[in-house]
Amino acid sequence: MTHLDNQQASYPHHNKPSAPSLLFEQIIVWTFTQKAPPIATPSRCDAVAPVSQPIAGLLKLDFRDSGEFVAHPEVSTMACVAQPAAPLSIGSLTLTSPVVLAPMAGVTNVAFRTLCREQEREKMGSVSGLYVCEMVTARALVERNEKTLHMTTFAPDENPRSLQLYTTDPRWTYEAAKMIVDENLADHIDMNFGCPVPKVTRRGGGSALPYKRKLFGNIVAAAVRATEGTDIPVTVKFRVGIDDAHKTHLDAGRIAAAEGAAAVALHARTAAQRYSGKADWSEIARLKEHMADSGIPVLGNGDIFAASDAAAMMDQTGCDGVVVGRGCLGRPWLFAELAAQLTGRPLPPQPTLGEVTRIIQRHAELLAAHHGEEHGCRELRKHVSWYLRGFPVGGDMRRDLARVSTLADLADILAPFSDSPALADDADGARGRQGSPGKVVLPEGWLDDPEDDTVPEGADIMHSGG
C-alpha cells in the first residue's frame, strides 16, 4: 500500500443503504490523481471526513442507521457519504429513479419493456423509471398503419406509457399528438431528433433537423399545442449537432424550452460520430449550464453501460437524469442496478448464467405473446449474443439459439445451463452497434439557411411501419 500525503483523490460513486440495518459494509476501490492539496470534496457528497492513516487502495466503510460511517484506518484515507439523486419531474410525471429507457428500433417493444420492469420490480420492489416504446412515425400513426399501431402496444399495467414520435412536419406532429390525446394512447410524448442513419438525415430528418431552427421550433410547438389542457408532457431528444462544425444542441435546448417542452435529452455525440468513439459528456454539462434558467430538466445520454456510469455522468455534468440505450441490450436487469445506484441502495448481485437462461426464456414468452411464437422466436435471436456476452457457453449453444423457432426448443437448449453459477466476464463493457464515424448525408442546400422552415420533401414517409 502506498501513502498518500498531499494527494488528491478521485472518487467513484457509492451509496449508503436506505433500509434500516445494524451495519452495512461496502468495499470501494479508490483511484488517485496528481498531488494537489487540499483534498477536494466530491460533487455529490455531503462531507469528506479524514481518518488517521492516509493509505491508498481499498476503502472500507461501515454505514450505520443514522447515516454515519465508521472508516477503517488500516485500509482507508477518507470517507465520502454520497447523496441519492433527486426524483425526476417531467411535467406531470415524477420518477423516483431518474432513468429513462431510450427507444431502440426492434428492441424496446412491449415485451422488452415488460421484462425490464419485471426485473426492476423483482430486484428493487417497485418500478421507478420511464420505459419508452419504439419510435413510430407521426404520419404513419395518423394514417393508422397497421404495423405502427402494433408497435404502440403497452402492457395493461404499464404506467406511465411513453411513446416516441419521429416527425419532420408540424402538421403531422399536431395530428399525431392530438390522436394520442384523444384516443388515450400514451401518458408521455417524446420526439426524436437524434437519429443519425443516412436514409433519415438525407431527407432532413432525425439529427439533421435541429439545424433548421424555425422548423424545429414549429414542430415542438405543434406537439405542445396538441396536448394543451392535458397532463401529457412533451419532451425532445437530440444530438450535439450534425458534426463538430455544425453544433445545434444549445439552440435546440433553448428553442424546445421556449416552445413548451417539459424536458430535453442530449446524446453527447454528433450525427457524424454515429455510435463510434466516446460520448462527450462535457457537452451535456454545457447544455445544462446553458439551460439553467429554463426551469426544465436536462437528461444525458451516451456510454452508460453500468450503474456507476450513470452516477458518474450526473456527477460530472450536473444533468437531472440519464437515458440508457445500448447498455441494456441483453441486460434488462440494468434498470434495477441503476435504480439502486441512484436512489442510494445496495446494488443487486449480478445474475448467474442459470438466472440469465430463465430471463431469456421469459423474454421469448413475452415476444411470442406480442408477435406470435414463430415471429417472437425469430425476434429473440438478435438478443442472444447480447445475453450471452462473457458467459462460457461455447459456440454450439450460440448457434442453436440463433436458429431457435419454438419456445419448447428454446427451453431444451437452455436446460443444460439452468443451474450454472457462472458470472459474465466484462459484463459492464460497451455493447451494441458502434461502427465508424462518417460524413452526414443531407438534402441539397440544407446548410444554406438555418432559419428556413420549409418542411423537407418526403421525410415524413420515411418509415417502415415505425
Going by their DSSP bridges, the two strands 78-82 and 69-71 should be labelled as unpaired
All cell numbers assigned to 342: 441512484
Cα 310 to Cα 300: distance, rounded to the nearest angstrom: 9
Cα 235 to Cα 195: distance, rounded to the nearest angstrom: 15
Q: What angle do CA 57, 61, 63 make, to 5 degrees?
A: 165
Cα 354 to Cα 232: distance, rounded to the nearest angstrom: 41
Give me the amino acid identity at 404: V
Q: Residues 319-322: contacts with CB within 8 Å, 24+ apart? A: 319/284, 319/285, 319/288, 320/86, 320/88, 320/98, 320/263, 320/288, 321/85, 321/88, 321/95, 321/98, 321/99, 321/100, 321/297, 322/98, 322/99, 322/100
Q: What is the DSSP letter of 66?
A: T
The gap from C-alpha 276 to its chain's centroid, in whole angstroms, comes to 17
Q: What is the DSSP letter of 305?
A: -
Contact 360, 380 (CB under 8 A): yes
List of residues 6+ apart from 406 with CB closer than 8 A:
373, 374, 377
Q: What is the DSSP letter of 21?
A: -
Where is 119: in which H helix or E strand? helix 110-124
Alpha-helical segments (H) within 278-389: 281-290, 307-317, 334-342, 353-371, 373-388
Contact 406, 412 (CB under 8 A): no
Secondary structure of 380-443 as H, E, C letters: HHHHHHHHHCCCCCHHHHHHHHCCCCCHHHHHHHHHHHCCCCCCCCCCCCCCCCCCCCCCCCCC
All cell numbers assigned to 453: 422552415
Q: What are phi and psi of 355, to 5 degrees?
A: -65, -40
CB atoms within 10 A of CB 182: 10
Cα 31 to Cα 376: distance, rounded to the nearest angstrom: 45
Q: Residues 195, 319, 328, 377: which is the catalytic one?
A: 195
Catalytic (active site) residue 133: no
Closest among 290, 412, 288 to 357, alpha carbons compared: 412
- List the catalytic residues: 195
